[in-house]
Chain A
Amino acid sequence: MAKRKQVIVGSGTAAVSALRQLRAAGCDDEVVVLTMEKHAPYSPMSLPYVLLGKVGPQDIGMVTDDFFDRMAATFVRERKVISVEPAAHRISYGDGKSERYDRLLIATGSDPIVPLKLKAAGALGFHVMDDCIALESELTGTRRVAIVGAGLVAMELAAALSERGHEVIVIAPRERILRSAFDEEAGGRIIDLFTASGVRVNMKWGEAAEAERRGAGARVRFSGGNEIEADVLLACLGVKPRTALVERSGIEVDVGITVDRRMRTTVPDVFAAGDCVEAADFLTGKRAVNPILPSAADQGKVAGANMAGKNSAYEGSLPMNAFNFFDHLALSIGKVAAGGDEVLIDRRNGSYARLVFTGDALAGASFLDADVDAGVIRNLIRKKIPVGKYREDLLRSPREVGYWLMNEAEKRQTVSKEE
């Protein structure tokens, strides 16, 4: 059989993971990996740590230099795909050229959301390496940084910049921070910890109503009536799937590119994975955008296997976040909103633990400075392991009881397999 040509658009986690899986599945097709960036594969996750100075920009490469050689793949930088024509099996580039594919993986990731008003006032987004380099040069000699947004990236940057010695002000549009990962009380505790470390967190300021450049910096007035002036203005209001290349291609896009459990889009031979897709959610089974690295890695794996002709299904995205700030660690897995489920909270010894149960199994958990193996808790959720009468115990000693429950369940599974 003639070798097929597999094209992967993007070089992030999903792309790299798909390439690995293609080869692991024994596929010897020609593979081309295209990125619009000039950098070798890296994860945007690393960038706040580069800013903090914890790792050098040269050390965040996701793969070793010989990776693409070992994978027998061609890696092309600074090549932006602008459209896909599924009927002709072709993709077109910005320079007018086009290329044929037999199978295509779209792993283009996401774009940061920067409102036009803020952009006009010189606000920076923070999403890719070039943003990081741009921010780094702006920071030289400046003092006061204002961050608009209260999601994970905003808070991570706030912590990193504060540790670097900047005066940091966080502006949360609404009444909560980190709302996708933590409940109100945990959010409140995190705000307190930020405040104690000298970061000002302003709540419920609304959207930017007016913004203008002011000297080297900017001044912004928010819909709630408050104003802020800062040397550097950062907009971290989340990300949206990068789907421009599939417009008018017939590939269905809702919020993200819609894919089934095999990571197939709505047209033949085109797969998609990572932050750009809307894939099944683990807990609800419905499609949702879940732009986190572990989901991208899993989706890439599934896509790679299916592109190699195997049959692999995605178990669904399970949200998980580890938020490491100052000397604290906040962890969140699965469901946050309680909506009719049983919720248990423990507040001893200055730590915070919150468990959400659906029926007899754990559906969500969040911890602040608790002694716990988060991966074990995640496994309890993923395997829907019944917790039974040990709920209170799990809440009080999440590390010990979590491990024990997982271990007992694994043993039962092994026994039933043998039987």
Chain B
Amino acid sequence: MRTYYDTLSIEENTCPPGCKACSEVCAVAKHERGGDGYGIRELHLAEVGAHLAYTCNQCSEPACLDVCPTGALAKSPKDGVVRVETKKCLGCGLCHMACPYGGIDFHAGSKRASKCDLCEGDPKCVDACPVKAIRFLKTKSIVEHLHKDPFLSGSSLCIGCPAETAIRFVMRAMGEDTFLFGGPGCAVNMFNGLGTRAMVSIPAHASNMTSVPSTMTGVKRYYRKMGKDVRCVAFVGDGLASDVGFQPLSGAAERNENIIFVCYDNEGYMNTGVQRSSTSPFLGWTTTTPTMGRRKGKLMHSKNVPLIMAAHGIPYVATAVVSQPEDFLMKLMKAKEIKDGMSYIHILSPCILGWGYAIPASLDVCRAAVETNYFPLWEYERGQFRITHEVKNPKPVADYARLLKKFAHLSEEDVGALQKVVDERLKQLKALTGMACL
């Protein structure tokens, strides 16, 4: 397996014009530790709109190492940092000439090569940046987890189904010492495989629809009693979470069990023939809310399950989509760290069969749902609502509805009605984000 290291991540073209905060604080930090020069430089080219900072990439195969005549440069296997051993550095400048990324500072008067050493684990530029364009990603542990997929390759889910992507993503992020729970639904295929072999290499239990939260409660409490910290994670559909298994879910939330409940919402009973569920959308087609004649699909609004879960006052609730993996991962990592109560994550999971769109379009549908505010990305953390992905120029919901056959019957007027629902929900959410607590 490859090794991964914590790293600096710099967002491009967000620097305020003329800002030198990062390089100035870097020079001071270097000076304080007996060095000189810079470990990060900024550049401002107003004519082409380029305002960015750059630093050493701490490459996996650093070109600077190859040309150092004295072996003064070395990449630490521990933290991945490429360091200059001052005693051995000639100050010849070859490393500076070999680095294609401007990662080594060397200028007139330099006595030695100077470069970023991540301030030995506490990069000073991160806090100095006024627009938070520089982040120190402690990704080592996360990325390592991401390479431990507990599922076998292949599954009996429909080709292109984003629920498979989501469950693999969730379980990789959760890492070791995790128990997986589920119930009847599409994703249970990820537990049982094709009947003759197990699909999953961690303890996984599929119970019936009404007993998932209670089963998780029991397992979690047992291990707590045994003095072992394990994570109990459910991955269930909307039929289970919002309809059939809602009472035990609400009960577990009310008891504030320390479990992580992930619902992949495909807005219906897609596994049994595309019947409506309580999260099926307003005016959407299902086999039980048909669109024949004057019928216009489902006439009731969908149940806003994540908001209801937040109303329980549990520590963490969030919405997520697989098309925004960074946002999704951030939320999973937050849920993973919570030791004093329940977390609930609600994923919009488009269904190729039940919603009617072409196989490769799952991620496009997810993105459109976010960009039209049909499915806003938000979180509720210990009393505080926050929109995690603010859509700057939201598109009309028509752009989302157009992608899906389940909305093909909508007239212009109907789309307007759907837009109204979307607008009201967003307004409601924004009002909540402005409140200190619920």
Q: How far, in whole Å, are A320 and B63 apart by their CA atoms in the complex?
A: 14
Chain A residues with CB under 8 A of B231? none
| Given A294-B98, A375-B99, A375-B104, A55 contacting B92 (CB threshold 8 A) | no
> Within 8 Å of chain A (Cβ to Cβ): is B119?
no
Q: Mark A306-338, 1 if CB is under 8 A from B, else 0.
A: 000000000000001010100111010100000
Chain A residues with CB under 8 A of B47? 393
B interface, CB within 8 angstroms of A: 12, 41, 43-45, 47-48, 50, 52, 54, 63, 66-67, 69-71, 87-94, 96-104, 106-111
Nearest-neighbor residue (CB-CB) of A45 within chain B: B69
| Given A399-B41, A404-B50, A55 contacting B98 (CB threshold 8 A) | no
Q: What is the minimal beta-carbon distance from A291 to any residue of chain B, in angstroms?
A: 14
| Given A376-B101, A397-B45, A55 contacting B70 (CB threshold 8 A) | yes
Among A17, A60, A393, A402, the one with the most B-chain Cβ atoms within 10 Å of its Cβ is A60
Q: How far, in whole Å, are A403 and B54 apart by their CA atoms in the complex?
A: 9
Chain B residues with CB under 8 A of A60? 69-70, 88, 90
A333/B69 in contact, CB under 8 A: no
Nearest-neighbor residue (CB-CB) of B70 within chain A: A60
> Within 8 Å of chain B (Cβ to Cβ): is A371?
yes
B45/A293 in contact, CB under 8 A: no
Chain A residues with CB under 8 A of B97? 294, 320, 322, 331, 333, 374-375, 378
A401/B106 in contact, CB under 8 A: no
Chain B residues with CB under 8 A of A49? 90-92
Q: How far, in whole Å, are A329 and B87 apart by their CA atoms in the complex?
A: 21
Q: How far, in whole Å, are A404 and B99 apart by their CA atoms in the complex?
A: 15
A375/B107 in contact, CB under 8 A: no
| Given A54-B91, A373-B96, A375-B97, A13 contacting B69 (CB threshold 8 A) | yes
Q: Among A59, A378, A404, which residue has its beta carbon within 8 angstroms of that of B87?
A: A59
Pick from A31-39, A61-69, A120-128 the stretch touching chain B: A61-69
Q: Among A62, A324, A376, which residue has its beta carbon within 8 angstroms of that of B92?
A: A324
> Within 8 Å of chain B (Cβ to Cβ): is A30?
no
Chain B residues with CB under 8 A of A397? 45
Offer 9 A-B interface pairs, CB within 8 angstroms, sorted by A: A17-B66, A46-B90, A59-B70, A294-B66, A327-B109, A373-B96, A375-B98, A393-B45, A399-B41
Nearest-neighbor residue (CB-CB) of A330 within chain B: B108
A375/B96 in contact, CB under 8 A: yes
Q: Among A63, A329, A382, A402, which residue has its beta carbon within 8 angstroms of that of B108?
A: A329
Q: Among A46, A54, A327, A376, which residue has its beta carbon within 8 angstroms of that of B100?
A: A376
> Within 8 Å of chain B (Cβ to Cβ): is A226?
no
> Within 8 Å of chain B (Cβ to Cβ): is A297?
yes
Chain B residues with CB under 8 A of A401? 45
Q: How far, in whole Å, are A402 and B104 apart by their CA atoms in the complex?
A: 15
| Given A54-B90, A375-B96, A375-B97, A329 contacting B107 (CB threshold 8 A) | yes
Chain A residues with CB under 8 A of B12? 407
Q: How far, in whole Å, are A298 and B87 apart by their CA atoms in the complex?
A: 26
B67/A293 in contact, CB under 8 A: yes
Q: What is the minimal beta-carbon distance from B206 to any residue of chain A, in angstroms?
A: 38
> Within 8 Å of chain B (Cβ to Cβ): is A400?
yes
A406/B100 in contact, CB under 8 A: yes
Among A320, A324, A375, the one with the most B-chain Cβ atoms within 10 Å of its Cβ is A375
| Given A49-B92, A324-B93, A373-B96, A294 contacting B67 (CB threshold 8 A) | yes
Q: How far, in whole Å, are A393 and B48 apart by their CA atoms in the complex?
A: 11
Nearest-neighbor residue (CB-CB) of A41 within chain B: B71
> Within 8 Å of chain B (Cβ to Cβ): is A102?
no
Q: What is the minimal beta-carbon distance from B110 to any residue of chain A, in angstroms?
A: 7
